[in-house]
Structure 1
Amino acid sequence: MAIGVTMYTFDIQLADVDRGVYEDLSVRVARHPSETDAFMLTRVLAYALEYEEGIAFSEGISATDEPAVLVRDLTGALVAWIEVGAPDAARLHTGSLAGARVAVYTHRDPAKVAAPWAAKKIHRAGEISLYSFDSGFFDAATAVLERRNTMTVSITERRLYLDLNGSSFESDVHEVAAG
């Protein structure tokens, strides 16, 4: 018998001082059985850190032609293609052709994530940003994940302050050009 998706909810108070974005968000996330807690939490943080009008999660792992998170304008045009984890160069190339901006958020070592992209054809590779977090951040934060989660996400000067279910965590948000 196949295991189905598990639904998680996140009530998020977002205070992104760097961008001037302050929102209360309620997000439902379908976690696929093959998805790790760290990957799911990275998706949620990417959503919060990229939050703007028109942002949405894609259909997830089953949506092979869409990123984990995307932003569309009022006309339905793709504005931002936001990958999570360690996407291959072909996905980044497709995203860069399809959207005005491409970003990758990873819970892994960014050097190991970017290494396979070297010498590969990626449209506008130099404009793609790769975001990572301090070592150990996701190990600590995923230890307190529950099916229903309360989060406060604050970011100032690229320093992330996360309160998840009453536990506090901090990390710099490191940015590296993908190309």
Structure 2
Amino acid sequence: RHPSETDERMMMRVLAFIRHASDSLTFGKGIAADDEPDLWQKDLTGAIMLWIEVGLPDEKRILKACGRAEQVVIYTYNSNSAIWWNQIGSRIDRAKNLTVINIASATSIALSKLSQRNMQLQCTVQDGQIWVTANDETVEIDFVTLKAVQAR
């Protein structure tokens, strides 16, 4: 975890990890590096299969990721998401391998309240729905798809 990373952002990275769980999914350097995503999955040759960003990346970063990875997923989560999407949505529409998912601000804030130094999370994933529990508090996650991968 980068020292400047908020609890809310960290929990969004954890949520993305839960949703895309795989043996080869790893955390990248994220905000500490311009050339790595928050999470990524590579195949045995080193090719990037999945590039996951959390937050509101700029157009240049998104298109660069789409050129480097087979699939790119962005998770937006704060109150500025709608403004960001209105500004950038049409400019990144040409990225056929891009999915953009929004998490309601209230949900990301509720998740951030579960964050503790030595937290133990319990996650339930069923039929595309996720529930995250810690310390007898449960947060239900609703995913709103702003942009889906386009058929080739």
Normalising by structure 2, report the TM-score: 0.85
Shift of 1:54: 1.4
Distance 2:64 2:20 in 1: 20
TM alignment of 1:68-107, pairs within 5 A = 68-107=38-77
Please, what is the CA RMSD of the aligned residues?
Answer: 2.1
Count of aligned positions: 148
Contact in 1 for aligned 2:30/2:38 (Cα 8 Å): yes
TM alignment of 1:1-179, pairs within 5 A = 30=1, 32-109=2-79, 110-120=81-91, 122=92, 124-177=94-147
> SS of the counterpart of 1:176?
strand
Structure 2: which 5+ residue stretches go unaligned? Answer: none
CA shift in 2, pair 1:77/1:127, >3 Å: closer
Structure 1: which 5+ residue stretches go unaligned? Answer: 1-29
Distance 2:125 2:113 in 1: 21
Identify, as 1 or 2, the structure richer in strand: 1
Shift of 1:178: 6.6
CA shift in 2, pair 1:143/1:83, >3 Å: same
Tell me what 1:11 maps to: none
Normalising by structure 1, report the TM-score: 0.74
Contact in 2 for aligned 1:126/1:177 (Cα 8 Å): no
CA offsets per residue over residues 14-37 of structure 1, 9 Å max, x none?
Answer: xxxxxxxxxxxxxxxx1x232211
* Aligned-pair identity (%): 30
Return structure 1 stretches of 4+ with deviation > 6 angstroms: none
Distance 1:143 1:123 in 2: 34
CA shift in 2, pair 1:74/1:123, >3 Å: farther
Shift of 1:157: 3.0
Shift of 1:114: 1.8
> SS of the counterpart of 2:121?
strand
CA offsets per residue over residues 96-152 of structure 1, 9 Å max, x none?
Answer: 0001000001222442232232453x4842431111223411222222311111112
